[in-house]
Chains A and B, each alone.
Chain A
Amino acid sequence: MKLELRGITKRFGAVTANEDIDLVIEPGEIHALLGENGAGKSTLMNVLYGLYTADEGHIEIDGVKQNFSGPGDAMAAGIGMVHQHFMLIPVFTVAENVALGHEPTKALGVIDLAEAKKQVLEISERFGFNIDPDALIEDLPVGAQQRVEIIKALSRDAKILVLDEPTAVLTPQETDELMEIMRQLAKSGTSIVFITHKLREVKAVADRITVIRLGKVVGSAKPDAETSELASLMVGREVMLTVNKKPAALGDVVLEVEHITVLDDRSQKAVNDLSFEVRGGEILALAGVQGNGQTELAEFLLGLRKPLGSKAKVNLNGKEITNKSVREVLESGVGFIPEDRQTDGLVSEFTIAENLMLNSSYKSRFTKGLNINFAARKRIAKELVEQFDVRTPSSETVANKLSGGNQQKVVVARELSREVSLLIASQPTRGVDVGSIEFIHEQIIAERDAGKAVILISSELDEVLALADRIAVMYRGKIVGIVEPNTSREDLGKLMAGVTA
């Protein structure tokens, strides 16, 4: 079965998530859809699965134009989807979950569980899944749950299987097993669309690779392409954003980090025995493809994650802050721009003014004893809205009425208006319009010129090259190299792919 997506465009309000995307999936091929978070991969697949309706363009199967009004239509047409978050019922057995939605029935509508079990066993044996149809989902490890999802799709005669970030929740061993399964499925004629941002997996398993960036197809490649080439395709080759900046005037060491090991949510080592230091007046960029420990490192520095082992040590301005609470870290002079402003950076039901005092609610310029100092808050909010060019009717506007760029400016305003000696900016311009990007970049440079230490965590190569004084490339929880900002993109790409010189 040949699947073609023709000129798919999907807009959400003013945001274009997919723009004129063409994609052809040949029968029996593993087609990798590669791109950073927010590049528009999932949106595209939701269009394919009938969850969204495309604003423009259409879908063809074997040359016949399709019109999906829901996942039911897509399933009937032979498209199966394994979501990043499994759609399984934990207290049901494997067979019950697989049968759910198209249960085989006996007379009087009694569910024919024996038939369902038989189906599970048959598929499981055919591909060596090793799944017991009577096991409860909640007792199965994540990898096995994923195989149940695949069985579910196959039991509905899926000819095309979409796997949305399937390895995000898997351990390395489970990932290898999944890739073996993918190869077998492809051999038996099932086409697979493999959505991911992990280069290693793409190279290991894909037959063809399509790279998506900012909602557009930016290139396609064969799996024997250089990893560095893929990396640079993924993080972009756009016109460089120019930022005027003076040479760095280096000050004293502000932050020293030694032997940091941090676990992620799956208890895997996300950051592995890392050491580095940042001086006042410089911007150290932590570059790398997403998912190589940057997020966990930022969360650790803030105090949200605890380090593993006793060798770990973090000094801020000569004072140890290794195991301090988030509040102590913030109050000792750390500003933090989180990578996801919606969950970690803002309370969207609060007004701009309320959001500006988010991390200064104890004893600060916003308070008077136990009271909020409303007069001061109003004044400060008004000033900051002006100073940071937040486009809003008033500083009492609720945050979720602002655009992404203006929301991010509120976060930046909050962090930069506090007395900090270290600024950790994590993906500071993700999902932000070009005008705001420029403004936020200028603000970050201004902080550096004021003698502060800045850690910039970004997966946008342009941003890294424009802002950084030194670039530390992270790969699998380690810094594989610290280079000058005049390093070529090819060399950076190689480092990001874990190739050390």
Chain B
Amino acid sequence: MSEINKADNTMPQVMREIFSGGLVRTVISILLGFLVGALFMIGSNKEFIESLGYIFARPGDALGAAFAVVNEGYGALFRGAIYNADAETFEKAIRPLTETLRLGAPLIAAGLGIGLTFRVGLFNIGGTGQLIFGMIFATFVATRLELPFVLHMVVALIAGIVGAALLGAFVGFLKARTGAHEVILTIMMNYIALYFFTFLMRDPALLQETRASGNPKADAAAETALLPKLLGDNYSLHWGLIFALLAVVVFWWLMERSTIGYRLRMVGFNPDAARAAGINVEKTYILAMALSAGFVGVAAANQTLGTAIGVTPSSHANIGFDAITVALLGGSSGPGILLAGLLFGAFKAGAPSMQVFGVSPEVLGIVQGAIVLFIAAPPLIRAIFRLPKPQTTNALEAIRKRIFTRGGGSK
């Protein structure tokens, strides 16, 4: 009897745990984000506004117009980011998906970097500056050195990582030494890095394109340094994706499996206890900032070596800031950031095709912002959907163990 009661009690408890968990909240946040975006699309639609004039006479018109524009807008997003059913060949139909992967890759890599600092209790706003520093180093190697194929690319990639990591470490050093706050430091470094990069690209003796007309622009990366295409020349998807995926694996190992990540997390949760346990908290901050920027450096190399056109001051493509939202949406975990990066990559890939349908792609920026806003305010989501509060029980864990432990999970 008591056994049955117990089972009865566990199931609702499990549901409560699931609904109070981060996954459900994330999914709801994403859906709400799309809903907000839809409202903006409807509100800016001409037919809908016109139909408002006689909404009481024929409400169906307004509803129909609203539905049509949302359907069209998000339909275009889907066709532009995942699968274009209107295309003549299958090859062309899946092209959008490869674009999503291509554009998602640097977001994933940079998102990992920002997520790492969140785990250590730091807030790295300097993704942009670090990305640019990585681009400076990678551009130098890719345009000014002559090396054989593959080696050239690898050296440029490493240069990108090192360049970014150096700036990150410098911020960490200033924080550890002077106590300056990393948010201020990284924001200011963004400006310095951006204008330093532009400065370098204005002088042919430095990084400017040899035949440029005074515009800040660098030479195209040498062909030996370019990231090879992944699926042949019909798609622009390149090896950047592979490096981003590798970065996810490295991140997961670092944070979940290694002693380095263990110490990083320890400092993030409780620096006092870490200090008493013999950990040099200041050095850990420097290391964390360097590692974080190192991941951003992978994105930097991706931006520099991914196209055959030379980089310009705007080649950072705002990835450094988008990475913050990616990390937040992904909950600072490797797999989470992978999925979040792909979602935001899809937004970037689908934006042009939305524009073709007359829906302003800025709506996607609103969706993106709204998603993170909902993520950042768990009580709001809980209140709207009457989700249970975070549970302190382990019922779900117990079931997971029973299912996934070898031998049926007996003790």
Q: What residues make up the interface of A, taking CB atoms closer than 8 Å to B?
A: 302, 304, 325-331, 336, 338, 343-350, 354, 357-359, 361-362, 367, 370-372, 374, 393, 397, 401
Interchain CB contact under 8 A, A350 and B269: yes
The residue that A346 contacts in the complex, of B262, B263, B273, B275, with Cβ under 8 A, is B273
The 19 listed contacts between A and B (C-beta, < 8 Å) are A325-B278, A326-B275, A326-B276, A326-B278, A329-B278, A330-B278, A336-B276, A338-B276, A343-B273, A346-B270, A346-B273, A350-B266, A358-B273, A359-B277, A361-B262, A370-B260, A371-B259, A372-B259, A393-B394
Residues of B within 8 Å of A331, CB to CB, are 278
- How many of chain B's residues touch chain A, expressed as a range? 20 to 34
Q: Is the pair A354, B276 in contact by a Cβ cutoff of 8 Å? A: no
Whether B280 is near chain A, meaning CB under 8 Å from some CB there, is: yes
What residues on A are CB-neighbors of B280 within 8 Å? 325, 327
Q: Is the CB of A343 within 8 A of B272?
A: yes
Report if B392 contacts A (CB, 8 A). Answer: yes
8 additional contacts, CB 8 Å, given A358-B274, A371-B257?
A: A327-B278, A327-B280, A328-B278, A344-B273, A346-B270, A359-B278, A361-B259, A367-B259
Tell me the smallest distance from the CB of B63 to a CB of chain A, in Å.
48
B258 at the binding interface (Cβ < 8 Å): yes
> Residue on B with the closest CB to A349?
B269
- In the complex, whether B245 has a CB less than 8 A from a CB of chain A is no
Instruction: Report B-chain residues with C-beta under 8 Å of the C-beta of A367.
Output: 259
What residues of chain B lie closer than 8 Å to A358, measured between beta carbons?
Answer: 266, 273-274, 277
Asked if B279 is at the interface of the complex by the 8 Å CB criterion, the answer is: yes
Contacts of A359 in B (CB 8 A): 276-278
In the complex, the answer to whether B276 meets A345 with C-beta atoms within 8 Å is yes
Which chain A residues border B276 with CB–CB below 8 Å? Answer: 302, 304, 326, 336, 338, 344-345, 359
Min CB distance, B118 to chain A, in Å? Answer: 14
With A304-B276, A372-B257 as contacts: A343 and B270 at CB distance below 8 Å: yes
> What's the Cα separation between A354 and B277 when bound, in Å?
13
CA distance A393 to B260 in the complex (A): 28
A372–B270 CB distance below 8 A: no
| Shortest CB distance A350–B (Å) | 7
**Residue pair B392, A401 in contact (C-beta under 8 Å):** yes
Per the bound structure, the CA–CA distance linking A48 and B96 in Å amounts to: 67
Q: In the complex, how many angstroms separate the beta carbon of A413 from the nearest chain B beta carbon?
A: 14
The reply to whether B269 and A362 form a contact with Cβ atoms under 8 Å apart is no
Interface flags for B268-292 (1: CB within 8 Å of A; 0: not) read 0110111111111000000000000
The CA-CA distance from A326 to B284 in the complex, in Å, is 15
Bound complex: CA of A145 vs CA of B48, how far in Å? Answer: 62
CA distance A302 to B280 in the complex (A): 13
A354 to B263, CA, bound (A): 10
**Is the CB–CB distance between B273 and A370 below 8 Å?**
no
Residues from chain A with a CB closer than 8 A to the CB of B262 are 354, 357, 361, 372
A347 and B273 within 8 A (CB)? yes
Q: How distant is A185 from chain B, measured CB to nearest CB, in Å?
A: 37
Measured in the bound complex, the distance between the Cα atoms of B262 and A325 in whole Å is 20
In whole angstroms, how far apart are the Cα atoms of A397 and B259 in the complex? 20
Within the complex, the shortest CB–CB distance from B249 to chain A, in Å, comes to: 14
Task: Give Cα A326 to B277, complex, Å.
Answer: 7
Query: Which B-chain residue is minimally distant from A341 (CB atoms)?
Result: B273
In the bound complex, do residue B259 and residue A347 qualify as a contact, i.e. CB atoms below 8 Å apart? no
B157 → chain A, closest Cβ, in Å?
22
Give bound CA distance, A206 to B260, whole Å. 54
Can you list the 7 inter-chain pairs with the closest CB atoms, starting with the nearest?
A: A327-B278, A359-B277, A344-B276, A326-B278, A358-B277, A347-B270, A330-B278
Contact A371 B258 (CB under 8 A): yes
Contacts of B275 in A (CB 8 A): 304, 326, 344
| A338 closest partner in B (C-beta) | B276
Contact B270 A348 (CB under 8 A): yes
